[in-house]
Structure formats: C-alpha cells, structure tokens
Amino acid sequence: MKTKIFKSGNSLAVRLPKAFELSCGPVSIHREGSRIIIEEVSETGWPAGFFESIRITRKDFAREKTAYQEKTL
C-alpha cells in the first residue's frame, strides 16, 4: 500500500490510510535501517513488546564474579 509524505510547517507528515488507523494519542517513532517504525505508546509509556526486543539472551553475557573477603576492624 502506498501513501504520501508532505510538508506540514517545518516538519514532514505522512498520510496513513484508514487501514492503518491509530487511536489519537502518543506514539513512538524510530528507525530500523531504512524503515521508519511508528508504534502506539502504552499506558506505561513503553511501546508494546519493547522490553522483549531489548532482552539479552546470550548465555555468555554476564558480569565477572567478584570475590569479597571480610576484614576485622
């Protein structure tokens, strides 16, 4: 589906077709390569699925363990 980008004041605006209708409220916008992603912001202020998208799943990702020794005062 194609749409148009147009100038609105000093900003660019995009006309969303009815099939992509969002509730009128805050949105988050970011780039992923050449894509521009627009997401509705949830009540918590984070886009849905945000924390799952940044979760670190590598098994070898961790801090080095630190050994502590008690000292008498």
Over the stretch 4-28, which tens digit does the pLDDT of each residue have?
A: 899 999 999 998 888 988 887 888 8
pLDDT of residue 11: 94
Report the range of poorest mean pLDDT among 2-11, 25-34, 44-53.
44-53
**Degrees, nearest 5: CA angle 22-32-11:** 60
DSSP 1: -
* Gap between the Cα atoms of 21 and 60, Å rounded: 42
